[in-house]
């Protein structure tokens, strides 16, 4: 087995040789001769003269090469009590037919399709069908409100939106159709039609522009794969940034197929025929990469799970699923393990199932705290692997590679950089820092295949937002350090992005909503530590002069407004009235200092003496109750 160091060094000293070889894992319509295209640097392109189809790589080629009757997808839904499965041949049939439906709706190469769906196989079918036509999907997480969906409709300008009648949360049926209708009403751009998958749990009335999934499938003709350039977009995935306007991360077809296929074997140790479960949601990048594309590129079986780790129905749900399907690799967020640990500290539920098939537990999306790491390692008896990455990169930047000789694990660190990534730590001027010195984590350009080539329709925003802070580098937005053994330690975001239950959210966009309350003069939303969800947003508000409002009333009105404008996923529940907020001399709120206090990282406070006093008042509110 190749050593991590050998493979990593080769990827850095000979990136074109390394990725040129990895490209052989993919089926191309036209093999690329150009591996790295730097003509428009710092906007790099991979495999720019190659052509391929992503859906062909996920499905057709496995059917053609003798895997037609192997399982491609298993659906397990404790929310409905149902499960089902599709072989590669069956999944291909459904995807080709749904591509026919989309074609009948007018979708051709390059058109955008928004997918707003719960965790059902049809979400994955819609994604692959869009890719089959060479069109571009943009999946919107079901926990976002109509206004957020509308913002994405206006940016992506889709011809078609695919949705479902409902999603199922433990405490309620989430009706998608009214939210979809409201979003279309709010948006300036109007799609030509919507396709609605009607679930038995909730029936819907369809309007004149709505197509019924089942009825359309009955009359559709299967569509063939459309060849696209490696550099053509496969999808847009919106993610939170420092401003309220979400950023449309673009993923290309070629680099994505190469990187993800390589990652499945080398990082996750998964081969064709293996059972793989990524307990996330297709609305997040983990869902795109490791529920849908990578396991199917690899010819493995992917498990779609509609439910929560606890309470649906109990804390043994995950272990029963592993036992039932003999899952080899599980990928989820640390928060899911913390939720189970809270309910089943002694692992009684774990003992009720046979989880001997499980080899590795992979965790990502937020910091893996050492407590959770130790608990999972001890209770499950498998390797617990932290991996650090972002929507922007699409696959891990730092991880312990299970397909190579694994490195020793250091709790608190996702281990070393993944081949292809030149990870460095720099100060605010972009000067490289030494080992164990904390600063901004950056990646030297070019980044490897699969990482974002740009933002949708906005090269300039990509360059100014990511490539300008430290010339020649991509600014990750995370802070941390690299230790004497080359292990990366992520200490948290350097901007106003927070991670709530593994969900990435912008406190800036929450502040924009809080500020609209008529009693609020100014506000700051800060992520405070939470034992279960890692972080929770908390709003600190200063009231307008002369306003007298009951704190409980203010809190419930602000919480309702955030839920209405952003969605339940924002999980803002706490609003506290404070006498003042600390400010710089020019009047900017010292959010950075507030964040540092919330994270228990004491930093010099650049405000006036009065502001230091205000911060002292806020300290207990930021760190505890
Ligand atoms: N559609 C509609 N609403 C949704 C939703 C969806 N797809 N997903 C979440 N929500 C709602 C929840 O119902 C909840 O609403 P509530 O305030 O009415 O209870 C709210 O959004 C907050 O959701 P969440 O933060 O996920 O809290 P939770 O209590 O429902 O679940 C966990 C907490 C930890 C169990 C859950 O977040 C989890 O399993 N996370 C780990 C896996 C994961 O999602 N990873 C993502 C990146 S890898
Ligand atoms: P997302 O784009 O939703 O995947 O969120 C990316 C952000 O989540 C990163 O910039 C980090 O702040 C955080 N994150 C993801 N994985 C990890 C990890 N393993 N350790 C620490 N933080 C992480």
Is the model more confident about 349 or about 609? 349
Domain count within the chain: 2
Ligand nearest to the CA of 335: 1
Q: Is residue 338 part of a domain?
A: no
Q: How far is the CA of 368 from the centre of ligand 2 (A)?
A: 10
Helices 146-156, 176-186: axis angle to 10 degrees equals 50
**Shortest-distance Cα residue to atom 31 of ligand 1:** 308
Question: What is the mean pLDDT of the segment spanning 456-464?
Answer: 96
Question: What is the mean pLDDT of the segment spanning 132-160?
Answer: 97
* 475 and 506 belong to one structural domain: no
pLDDT at 557: 98
SS3 586: coil
From 450, 480, 510, give the residue that closes a domain: 480
* 421 and 458 belong to one structural domain: yes
**Shortest-distance Cα residue to atom 2 of ligand 1:** 143
Do residues 260 and 46 make contact, with C-beta atoms less than 8 angstroms apart?
no
Per-residue 3-state assignment (H helix, E strand, C coil) for 205-244: CCCCCEEEHHHHHHHCCCCCCCCEECCCEEEEEEECCCCC
* 563 and 466 belong to one structural domain: no
Question: What is the mean pLDDT of the segment spanning 443-469?
Answer: 97
**Shortest-distance Cα residue to atom 15 of ligand 1:** 568
Instruction: At 166, list the tokens.
Output: 């409902």
Q: How far is the CA of 549 from the centre of ligand 2 (A)?
A: 38
Q: Is residue 171 part of a domain?
A: yes
Find the DSSP H helices in 458-550.
459-462, 507-514
Q: How far is the CA of 242 from the centre of ligand 2 (A)?
A: 15
pLDDT at 190 over 90: yes
Mean pLDDT of all residues belonging to the chain: 96
**Shortest-distance Cα residue to atom 3 of ligand 1:** 143
CATH number reported for the structural domain that contains residue 525 in this entry:
3.30.300.30
Instruction: At 130, list the tokens.
Output: 């869009």
pLDDT at 244 over 70: no
- Strand partners of residue 541: 523, 577
pLDDT at 625: 63
CA distances from 348 to 307, 374, 375, 487, 531 (A): 20, 17, 13, 34, 21
From 446, 480, 514, give the residue that closes a domain: 480
* 467 and 584 belong to one structural domain: no
Which atom of ligand 1 lies nearest, measured to the CA of 283?
Answer: 7
Q: How far is the CA of 474 from the centre of ligand 1 (A)?
A: 30
Q: How far is the CA of 569 from the centre of ligand 1 (A)?
A: 6
Quick check: CB of 281 below 6 Å from ligand 1?
Answer: yes
Ligand nearest to the CA of 139: 1
pLDDT at 602 over 80: no
pLDDT tens readout for residues 507-552: 999 999 999 999 999 999 999 999 999 999 999 999 999 999 999 9
* 511 and 469 belong to one structural domain: no
**Shortest-distance Cα residue to atom 3 of ligand 2:** 504
* 442 and 519 belong to one structural domain: no
Ligand nearest to the CA of 415: 2
Q: How far is the CA of 582 from the centre of ligand 1 (A)?
A: 33
- Strand partners of residue 252: 233
pLDDT at 331 over 80: yes
Question: What is the mean pLDDT of the segment spanning 84-93?
Answer: 98
pLDDT at 324: 98
**Shortest-distance Cα residue to atom 37 of ligand 1:** 501
Read off the DSSP letter of residue 328. Answer: S
Which atom of ligand 1 lies nearest, measured to the CA of 169?
Answer: 13
* 401 and 525 belong to one structural domain: no
pLDDT at 187: 98
Q: Is residue 369 part of a domain?
A: no
Question: What is the mean pLDDT of the segment spanning 303-327?
Answer: 96
Do residues 35 and 16 make contact, with C-beta atoms less than 8 angstroms apart?
yes
**Shortest-distance Cα residue to atom 41 of ligand 1:** 336
Q: Is residue 510 part of a domain?
A: yes
Do residues 424 and 417 make contact, with C-beta atoms less than 8 angstroms apart?
no
Q: Provide the percentage of residues in the chain whose pLDDT is more than 70.
A: 98
Read off the DSSP letter of residue 542. Answer: E
Q: Name the one residue in this structure whose structure tokens are 């106003």.
A: 496
**How open is the CA angle 601-605-606, to the nearest 5 degrees?**
145
pLDDT tens readout for residues 250-292: 999 999 999 999 999 999 999 999 999 999 999 999 999 999 9
pLDDT tens readout for residues 374-402: 999 999 999 999 999 999 999 999 999 99
pLDDT at 336 over 70: yes
Residue 613 binned pLDDT confidence (cut-offs 50, 70, 90): confident
pLDDT at 448 over 80: yes
Q: How far is the CA of 597 from the centre of ligand 2 (A)?
A: 20
**Shortest-distance Cα residue to atom 14 of ligand 2:** 366
Name the residue range of residue 521's domain.
501-622
Q: Is residue 200 part of a domain?
A: yes
Q: How far is the CA of 97 from the centre of ligand 2 (A)?
A: 36
Q: How far is the CA of 527 from the centre of ligand 2 (A)?
A: 14
Q: Is residue 242 part of a domain?
A: yes
**How open is the CA angle 163-160-201, to the nearest 5 degrees?**
15
Round to whole Å and give the CA distance between 490 and 191.
Answer: 41
pLDDT at 483 over 90: yes
* 397 and 248 belong to one structural domain: yes
Q: Provide the percentage of residues in the chain whose pLDDT is more than 90.
A: 91
The conformational region for residue 562 under phi > 0 = left, psi -120 to 50 = alpha, else beta, is alpha
User: Which stretches does DSSP call E strand in 415-550?
Assistant: 422-426, 439-444, 473-482, 488-493, 497-500, 503-506, 520-530, 534-543
CA distances from 112 to 246, 337, 425, 516, 555 (A): 17, 36, 37, 33, 39
- Minimal CA–CA distance to 300: which of 23, 74, 2, 99? 74
Q: Is residue 490 part of a domain?
A: no
Sign of the torsion formed by the C-alpha atoms of 23, 27, 31 and 36: negative
pLDDT at 446: 98
Do residues 452 and 231 make contact, with C-beta atoms less than 8 angstroms apart?
no
* 393 and 505 belong to one structural domain: no
Which pTM value belongs to this model?
0.97
pLDDT at 2: 80
* 433 and 511 belong to one structural domain: no
* 399 and 539 belong to one structural domain: no
Residues 6+ apart with CB under 8 A from 624: none
Do residues 612 and 605 make contact, with C-beta atoms less than 8 angstroms apart?
yes
From 480, 510, 533, give the residue that closes a domain: 480
CATH number reported for the structural domain that contains residue 417 in this entry:
3.40.50.12780
SS3 516: coil
Query: Which one of 247, 499, 501, 534 would you pick to mutate in the ligand 2 pocket, going by the greatest count of ligand atoms within 8 A of its CB?
Result: 499
* 232 and 111 belong to one structural domain: yes
Q: Is residue 511 part of a domain?
A: yes
Residue 599 binned pLDDT confidence (cut-offs 50, 70, 90): confident
- Minimal CA–CA distance to 443: which of 469, 475, 489? 475
Which atom of ligand 2 lies nearest, measured to the CA of 476?
Answer: 10
Q: How far is the CA of 533 from the centre of ligand 1 (A)?
A: 10
């Amino acid at each position: 087995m190749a050593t991590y160091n050998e493979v990593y060094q080769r990827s850095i000293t000979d990136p074109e040789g390394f990725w040129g070889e990895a490209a052989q894992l993919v089926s191309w319509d036209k093999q690329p001769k150009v591996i790295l295209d730097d003509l428009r640097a710092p906007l790099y392109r991979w495999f720019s003269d190659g052509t391929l189809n992503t859906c062909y790589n996920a499905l057709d080629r496995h059917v053609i090469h003798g895997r037609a009757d192997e399982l491609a997808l298993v659906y397990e839904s404790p929310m409905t009590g149902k499960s089902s499965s599709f072989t590669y041949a069956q999944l291909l049939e459904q995807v080709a037919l749904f591509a026919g439906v989309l074609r009948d709706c007018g979708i051709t190469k390059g058109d955008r399709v928004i997918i707003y769906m719960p965790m059902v196989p049809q979400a994955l079918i819609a994604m692959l069908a869009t890719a089959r036509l060479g069109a571009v999907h943009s999946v919107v997480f079901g926990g976002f409100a109509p206004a957020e969906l509308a913002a994405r409709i206006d940016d992506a300008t889709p011809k078609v939106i695919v949705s479902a009648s409902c999603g199922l949360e433990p405490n309620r049926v989430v009706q998608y159709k009214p939210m979809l209708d409201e979003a279309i009403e709010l948006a300036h751009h109007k799609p030509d039609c919507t396709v609605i998958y009607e679930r038995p749990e909730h029936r819907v009335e369809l309007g004149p522009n709505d197509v019924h999934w089942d009825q359309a499938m009955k009359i559709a003709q299967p569509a063939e794969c459309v060849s696209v350039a490696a550099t053509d977009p496969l999808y847009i995935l919106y993610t939170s940034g420092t401003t309220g306007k979400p950023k449309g991360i673009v993923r290309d077809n070629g680099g994505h197929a190469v990187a993800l296929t390589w990652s499945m074997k080398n990082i996750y140790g998964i081969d064709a025929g293996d059972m793989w479960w990524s307990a996330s949601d297709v609305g997040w990048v983990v869902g795109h990469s490791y529920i849908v594309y990578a396991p199917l590129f690899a010819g493995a079986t992917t498990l779609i799970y509609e439910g929560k780790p606890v309470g649906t129905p109990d804390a043994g749900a995950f272990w029963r699923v592993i036992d039932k399907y003999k899952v080899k690799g599980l990928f989820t967020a640390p928060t899911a393990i913390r939720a189970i640990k809270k309910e089943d500290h002694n692992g009684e539920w774990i003992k009720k199932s046979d989880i001997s098939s499980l080899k590795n537990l992979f965790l990502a999306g937020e910091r893996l705290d050492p407590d959770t790491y130790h608990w999972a390692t001890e209770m499950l008896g498998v390797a617990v692997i932290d991996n650090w990455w972002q929507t922007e990169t699409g696959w891990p930047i730092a991880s312990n590679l299970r397909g190579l000789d694994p490195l020793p694990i250091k709790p608190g660190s996702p281990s070393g950089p993944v081949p292809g990534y030149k990870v460095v730590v720099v100060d605010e001027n972009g000067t490289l820092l030494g080992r164990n010195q904390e600063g901004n984590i950056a990646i030297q350009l070019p980044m490897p295949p699969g990482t974002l080539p740009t933002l949708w329709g906005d090269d300039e925003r990509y360059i100014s937002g990511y490539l300008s802070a430290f010339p020649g580098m991509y600014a990750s937005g995370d802070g941390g350090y690299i230790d004497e053994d080359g292990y990366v330690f992520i200490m948290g975001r350097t901007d106003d992005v927070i991670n709530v239950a593994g969900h990435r959210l912008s406190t800036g966009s929450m502040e924009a909503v809080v500020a609209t309350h008529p009693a609020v003069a100014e506000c700051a939303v800060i992520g405070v530590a939470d034992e279960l969800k890692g972080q929770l947003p908390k709003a600190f508000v200063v009231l307008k002069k002369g306003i007298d409002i009951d704190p409980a009333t203010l809190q419930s009105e602000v919480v309702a407004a955030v839920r209405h404008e952003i969605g339940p996923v924002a999980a803002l529940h706490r609003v506290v009235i404070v006498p003042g907020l600390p400010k710089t001399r020019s009047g900017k709120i010292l959010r950075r200092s507030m964040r540092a206090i919330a994270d228990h990282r004491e930093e010099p406070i650049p405000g006036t003496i009065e502001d230091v006093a205000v911060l002292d008042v806020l300290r207990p509110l930021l760190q505890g109750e």
